[in-house]
Structure 1
Amino acid sequence: MTFVHVGPTVLYDLGQIGELDLLTYFDGAIVVPAAVRAQITTEPAATNLAQFLEESTVITSVRPEVREQAASALGLDPDGYEAALLGGLFDESIDEDRTVLVLSDDRRLRALAEGLGASVTGTFGVVVRAAVEDKYLSAGQAKRIVSRLDHHGVQLTGQLKSAAIGEL
């Protein structure tokens, strides 16, 4: 089974433009720990996230001992969102055949997750995945989503924006 752990950067970016439903294009259980959710306080992202969590099946809790283990191993605050987000990588109660995907644009979190064996992508990876998986989401619509992200403050260099649009 795949567990898709969503970090605050992706939640903020997609929440600002009302596109959190794009997360549902990943096969597997979506994980948004309460500590991660608490990081999203800016509107309209906070309201959009609350609505998404209410309408979707999302795992929101992480066992305290798993958070502690992640915090101890990685030098993180056990009550912080980073330990909650990466805690799933330490959860041995889940079957060994699990796959963990971490969605974050935070370079440090991405590096930690990759170092622990997780697959990693960011906001634009979510948009590309949705465009590939959904026959009703055209490449043109996906490109418009990328442009809306760009207009809402997601930092895109010209090269990154070209690459994101090129993938679509």
Structure 2
Amino acid sequence: MTRIYVGPTSLYSLGQIGELSLLDAFDGGIVIPGPVADEVRVEPTATNLEEYLEADVETAVDEDRVEQARSLLGEKDIGAAVTVLAGVLAHRDPSDRSAVAVVSEDRTVRRMAQGLGAEITSSFGVVVRAAIEDKYLSSRQAKRIVRRIDQHGMHLTGELRERAVGEVAE
């Protein structure tokens, strides 16, 4: 089963608008490492995350891989998101790229995770996936969600926003 690690930036963008449940559209287990969840203190994201975690979301950290992840990053400090990369290191499978995935807006996390063999996506990718998988989420609703994410701090250029909205419509 695919393990889907969610970083703090995506938790923030989905949590600010009350849409963390869109993560459930993925086929696989959602993992929000404890330190990542602890790093989210901004409201309303913190409250929305607390409620989302009550739904039996895995929060374990692959402790034996944290130092390896830190050493791969060198001088870069990505805070608690290092536990996301530790999860990628622990569960990657060179013969199955879909064994582990990462949801993050952080460029360093995305590049490193992809380089280690994980599939990557962003909050906008989560919305697109939910629109495709969930018959109850219309493309119109998904477009509104994309715009709300954009308005709450995860800004897209006009071109990227229209591309995300266009993918939802397809």
1:167 matches 2:167: yes
Equivalent position amino acid for 1:59 in 2: E
Task: Give the corresponding residue for 1:148.
Answer: 148
Q: How far apart, in 2, do the equivalents of 1:165 and 1:33 lie?
A: 30
Asked if structure 2 preserves the Cα contact closer than 8 Å seen for 1:26 and 1:129, the reply is yes
> How do 1:29-68 residues align onto structure 2 when only pairs under 5 Å count?
29-54=29-54, 56-68=55-67
Task: Give the corresponding residue for 1:103.
Answer: 103
Say if 1:79 and 1:113 are closer, same or farther in 2 by CA, change over 3 A.
closer
Deviates further, 39-48 or 85-94: 85-94
Asked if structure 2 preserves the Cα contact closer than 8 Å seen for 1:70 and 1:76, the reply is no
1:3 matches 2:3: yes
Q: How far apart, in 1, do the equivalents of 2:85 and 2:115 lie?
A: 11
Greater helix fraction, Structure 1 or Structure 2: 2
Task: Give the corresponding residue for 1:133.
Answer: 133
Number of corresponding residues: 166
TM-score (structure 1 length as normaliser): 0.90
**Identity score, percent:** 53
Asked if structure 1 preserves the Cα contact closer than 8 Å seen for 2:18 and 2:45, the reply is yes
User: 1:165 offset after TM fit, Å?
Assistant: 0.4
Asked if structure 2 preserves the Cα contact closer than 8 Å seen for 1:6 and 1:103, the reply is yes
1:69 matches 2:107: no
Asked if structure 1 preserves the Cα contact closer than 8 Å seen for 2:65 and 2:86, the reply is yes
Deviates further, 131-140 or 97-106: 97-106
Q: How far apart, in 2, do the equivalents of 1:135 and 1:93 lie?
A: 31
TM-score (structure 2 length as normaliser): 0.89
1:118 matches 2:104: no
Asked if structure 2 preserves the Cα contact closer than 8 Å seen for 1:15 and 1:49, the reply is yes
Asked if structure 2 preserves the Cα contact closer than 8 Å seen for 1:20 and 1:49, the reply is yes
SS at match of 2:43: coil
Gaps of 5+ in 1: none
Say if 1:17 and 1:131 are closer, same or farther in 2 by CA, change over 3 A.
same
User: 1:73 offset after TM fit, Å?
Assistant: 3.2
SS at match of 1:91: helix
Gaps of 5+ in 2: none
